[in-house]
Amino acid sequence: MRLLVTGGAGFIGSHYVRTLLTERDDVEVTVYDKLTYAGNLANLAPVADSPRYRFVQGDICDATLLDEVLPGHDAVVNFAAESHVDRSISGAADFVVTNVLGAQTVFDAALRNGTPRVVHVSTDEVYGSIPVGGFKETDVLEPNSPYSAAKAGADLIARAYHVTHGLNISTTRCSNNYGPYQFPEKVIPLFVTNLVDGKNVPLYGDGLNVRDWLHVDDHCRGIQLVLEKGAPGEVYNIGGGVELTNKELTQRLLDACGATWDSVDYVEDRKGHDRRYAIDDTKLRGLGYAPRTTFDDGLARTVRWYRDNEAWWRPLKEKAALGGS
C-alpha cells in the first residue's frame, strides 16, 4: 500500500508515519508537509533512512503540486491543519485557508487523480460543548472557536464530496491527544517543559473545563482501522475514555514533575472556552477499536520523554518564545 500523508511532519501525522514504517513492511509512505512552525522533520528522523519513506515539502492549497505527487498512491490520510485554538482566536485567516480551502484542495485532487481512498482527520471540537453524555457522529456540529469552525467546514466538505462525487472518504474525530513529539504550545508539553525549567504554568479560568484524553498511539491505530475498514461517507469518533478537568490534569503533571500549586498561575479564561468535550466512540469500537494505553502509563511515559529529549523541545520553545512566569 502506498500512502500520501499530508501534515505528516506534525505531532499526530509523524507518529502515524513512524508507526507504519516501523511495524509494517507492506507500506510505503510519502509525507507531504508545508513545514510551518509545528511541522518538524526531526519528528521523522527515526524513519528518515527507510527506503519506503519519501518527503515532499508542499502546501495542501497547491493543487498543481498535489497533482504531481498523488498519482500512484492508494490512499490519502489528511492530517494537515492549523490546530491551536488560541492562535485561531488571535488570527483566524490561516485556519480558514488551511483547514477549509486546503482540505477541499486535497479532496479535489484525490477525486481528479482517481485516488481510491481518503481519510480526513478531524476533532471532537467540531461538536462544541456538552454538559453530560457524549456526542455521537450524527449530532449537530456547533463549533465555538475559529479553529473548530474551520475543521467543521472541512468535515462538511468531505461529506459533500462523498455525496456529490462519490469520493471514498471517511472522517475521524478524536478527543485530546497527548504523547511524544507534541509541539510545546499544547498543555501537556507546555506544562512539563515549564516545570522542568522551574517556571510557572498557566491555568485558564477556574480549571474545571473537562477533556477526554487519548494517547496518540491509540488515535493512530483508530485512524488506520478507519482507513482499512471504515465505510465511505461515514464519520468515526476516536476517544480515550479518560475524562479529567484541567485542574485534575494539572495536579497529575505537578506530581509527575515534583512541583506544587505554587507553580500554577490562574489566568483569564480563554474566549469561548468550551466547558466539556466528550464523545461516544461505540461506532468505531464496533470495528474492533479499543484504547490500549492507560492514562497513568501514557502520561508517565510522555513526561519521561520530554525530560529525556530537551534537545528536541528547547529550540522550539525558544524560537516561539513559549513559557510562563
Burial of 72 (0-12, 13-18, 19+ CB in 10 A): exposed
* Catalytic residue chosen out of the listed positions 32, 127, 147, 178: 147
* Catalytic residue chosen out of the listed positions 125, 137, 155, 212: 125
Q: How many CB atoms lie within 10 A of CB 262?
A: 8
Q: Are 276 and 285 in contact (CB under 8 A)?
A: no
* Nearest residue to 224 via CA among 10, 67, 21: 21
Q: What is the end-to-end Cα distance of the chain in Å, rounded?
A: 48
* Catalytic residue chosen out of the listed positions 33, 59, 82, 124: 124
Burial of 54 (0-12, 13-18, 19+ CB in 10 A): middle
Whether 124 is a known active-site residue: answer yes
Q: How far apart are CA 126 and CA 150, in angstroms?
A: 9
Whether 62 is a known active-site residue: answer no
Whether 23 is a known active-site residue: answer no
Q: What is the residue type of 49?
A: D
Catalytic center residues:
124-125, 147
